[in-house]
Structure 1
C-alpha cells in the first residue's frame, strides 16, 4: 500500500522542493502494510536476520494464518524453483496474521512453526499489549507533529525487542521521515555510494541526509531504490522468486541467475 492522505500529499510536495530529482523521478511515497501491526511485526523480522530469512519468516506467518482460518493445507509449486513441474513445494498462504489471531498462540508453537527464534516472544508480547489495550495503534495514525512522533518512538523503544532500527522503521511507515532506520545495508550504501572509506557510523548517515530534513528517509530511499534498479532492473518487474536477491551485499557476492 502507498500512504495517500492530505498530509502525505503535502509532504511529497515539500520533499520535491527540497529534492527536485525526486520530483523528476516521480518518487515521494513509501510502501506500507495494510495495518500498523503488520508493519511493526515486519520491522522486528528485519532485525538480526539476512533479507532472505526475513522473507521466509513473513511467508511462514502467512502460511500460519491460512491454517488458523481452518483452511486445509494445499501444496503448490515453490515460486523460487526454476525447474518445471518441480517437486519442491510450499504450502498455500493466507494473509498476514493480525494481533487477535496471534494472541491465542503460545510462544513455543509460534517459534517452531515460523522459525522466528527469539522474535516469537517479542511478537506475542506486542499482540497481547494491543489486545489488552496497553498499546493503542489508532493513536499512531493520529500523531501529526514531530513531538508526537518522538513520544511514540520513546514508548516503543522502552519495549523489549524494539531497538532504534525497528522503532525508526515503524515511524517511517506512519509518515515520520526524520529518523533513518540504519543497519548494515545503510552503512554499505553510504560507504559505496558516498565514498566513505572509514568505518561508517550513524554520524556519517546524519551528515549526508540531514540536509533533506524533515524527509531524510525519503532521500535515503530515493538513492537506495535507484541503486537497486541500476543493478537488478525495474523492481516492479522483478519475479517473486528473486525478491531475496535485492540487497547490495547479494549483488556484490554474485549475479542473479538468468
Structure 2
C-alpha cells in the first residue's frame, strides 16, 4: 500500500476522494491554536495513508484536510481544516470550517475535540526531538514538524483501517472502507456519511451474518475478523479505548501490543503501527514495502532483512519505529 500511496501523493491534487458536503458554502468556523512549535498540517495529514481513505481526503495543492465527523446535534458534517497563515512557530492557528449547519455549542466542541485528537495536537514530541538532536542527517524531522501521526476519532476506526490495509493494495483498502461507510455510516442531509461505529456493523452481522460483509462490502476473508471485532466492542467485552490510558494504572505498551495481536486478523505489523496511533512509540511495522524502502535507503541490492532494519535503527531506542517510518515516507509532504 505504501508504494501506491507515495505515487498518488507525488502526483499532486487530491489524495483520496472529496467527501460529499465538503464543497458546500462555509457556514460554520472555529479556530484551533496555538499550535505546537513547527507544526505543519501536511506533515500530519500525510504521515501515512489514512488521509486518503474514506471518509477523508487531503488536497495537496490547497493544503486542506477534509473529513466527515459525527456531531451530537447536526449529525455528520464534512469539515475542512487549513492553516490560516504561513506554517511554523506556535502562533498561526488552524481554521476548521464546514457547510450545511452552523452547529450548536455541543457540535462545535465535538468538532474541536475530534480535530485536536486526529491531528495529535496534544502529543509532546520533545523526547523524540531530543533523541534526534545529535543526528544532523535527521535535522529535517524537527525542522519540518514531523513525528505526529494522523488518527481516527476512535480506536475502533483505526483498528478497522489496519485490518483493511493488511495484505492489500491501497485501491483495495479504499474500496473496503468506502463500502463500510456507504452501507453502515450515518448519513447527513447533504450526502455526508460518517465512518460507522461498531454497533452499526455488529447489527448488520446479527441480521445478515458475516457473509454480508464478505459479499456486499467486499471484505473477503477479512469479514470474519471484522465481525468479531465489531461484536466484541459493541457487547462491551473488548474496551479498546482504554488503550489510550498511558497513566500508571493504564496498560503498558507491551500489554496493548499483545492484546492487538490476539485479535483475529491482526499480527505484529498491525500492532506495531497501531501503537503509534495510540500515542505510544510505534514498532518497526516491517511489511514488504518498508523493508524495500529501508533497503533503498541503506544502498542494499534488495529489501533489507529484519535484522538489518533493527540494527539500522537500534540507536534510537524507543523511537526506532518512529524514525524508520519518518525515513521511509520522507518526501511525502514535499519537505
Structure 2 Cα separation of the partners of residues 178 and 55 of structure 1: 23
CA RMSD of superposed structures (Å): 2.4
In the alignment, what sits opposite 2:202? Answer: 103
Checking the alignment, whether the CA contact within 8 Å between 1:59 and 1:93 is kept in structure 2 is: no
User: Structure 1 152/45 Cα, relative in aligned 2: closer, same or farther at 3 Å?
Assistant: same
Higher strand share: 2
Match of 2:253 in 1: 149
**Deviation of residue 178 (structure 1)?**
4.3
Change in Cα spacing, 1:42 to 1:178, as seen in structure 2 (3 Å) is: closer
Report the counterpart of residue 143 of structure 2 in structure 1.
Answer: 24
* Structure showing greater relative contact order (alpha-carbon pairs closer than 8 Å, 6 or more residues apart): 1
Q: Which residue does 2:193 correspond to in 1?
A: 94
Q: Which one has a larger percent helix, Structure 1 or Structure 2?
A: 1
In the alignment, the residues of structure 2 paired with residue 31 and residue 102 of structure 1 have an alpha-carbon distance, to the nearest angstrom, of 24
1:80 match: none
How does the TM-score come out when normalised to structure 2? 0.57
Question: Does the 8 Å CA contact 2:293/2:328 hold for their aligned counterparts?
Answer: yes
**TM-score relative to the length of structure 1:** 0.73
Q: Is the 8 A contact 2:284 2:325 kept in 1?
A: no
2:281–2:319 CA contact under 8 A, matched in 1:
yes
How many equivalent pairs are there? 207
**Pair 1:95–1:71, CA change in 2 (3 A):** closer
CA distance in 2, matches of 1:199, 1:131: 41
Q: Which residue of 2 aligns with 1:190?
A: 294
Cα distance in 1 for partners of 2:178, 2:251 equals 35
Match of residue 14, structure 1, among 100, 108, 127: 127
For 2:309, what is the secondary structure of its paired residue?
helix
1:113 and 1:220 map into 2 onto residues whose CA distance is 37
| Cα distance change on mapping 1:93 and 1:224 into 2, 3 Å | farther
Q: Could you tell me how far apart the structure 2 residues matched to 1:37 and 1:70 are?
A: 19
Match of 1:42 in 2: 161
CA contact (8 A) 2:292 2:303 kept: no
- Decide whether the 8 Å contact of 1:177 with 1:218 is kept in 2: yes
- Structure 1 range deviating more: 31-40 or 102-111: 102-111
8 Å CA contact 1:157, 1:164 repeated in 2: yes
Q: Does 1:126 align with 2:229?
A: yes
Q: Is the 8 A contact 1:168 1:181 kept in 2?
A: yes
Distance 2:236 2:127 in 1: 36
Is the CA contact (8 Å cut-off) linking 1:62 and 1:93 kept in structure 2? no
1:16 Cα offset (Å): 0.8
Aligned to 1:213: 317
Instruction: Determine the structure 2 residue equivalent to 1:33.
Output: 152
Please, which runs of 5 or more residues in structure 1 have no aligned partner?
A: 75-91, 235-258
Deviation at 1:141, TM superposition (A): 0.6
Structure 1 residues 40, 71: CA separation in 2 closer, same or farther (over 3 Å shift)?
A: same
Higher mean C-alpha displacement, 193-202 vs 157-166: 193-202
